[in-house]
Amino acid sequence: MDTRWVVYIMKCVDGTLYTGITTDIDRRLDEHNNSKKAAVYTQGRRPITLHYLEGPMTKSEALKREIQIKNTTKQQKEAMKNVEGEVNDD
């Protein structure tokens, strides 16, 4: 079973949030900030910072969790912050 996947929320410079999954969070953050491989949504909203990280898990689990997070409100996503020393209470 491949359990190297993580779910992340990135915060854009305009305050919006972007949710996705990856196997390499450092590479993905760099792509969101510096590459054309970034999601079209984030390309015009740089710089992007990591807001929330959850995992590791299987790809299937990550995809399901991504959908769950995308179906929450912005306020709920804001409350999930667990990066930069803040811990998620989940």
CATH topology of domain 5-79: GIY-YIG endonuclease (3.40.1440)
State the burial class of residue 32 (Cβ atoms within 10 Å of its Cβ: 0-12, 13-18, 19+). buried
Tens-place pLDDT, residues 24-76: 999 999 999 999 888 999 999 999 999 999 999 999 999 999 999 999 999 99
**Could you say which DSSP state residue 8 is in?**
E
Chain centre distance of CA 40: 15
What pLDDT score was predicted for residue 23?
Answer: 97
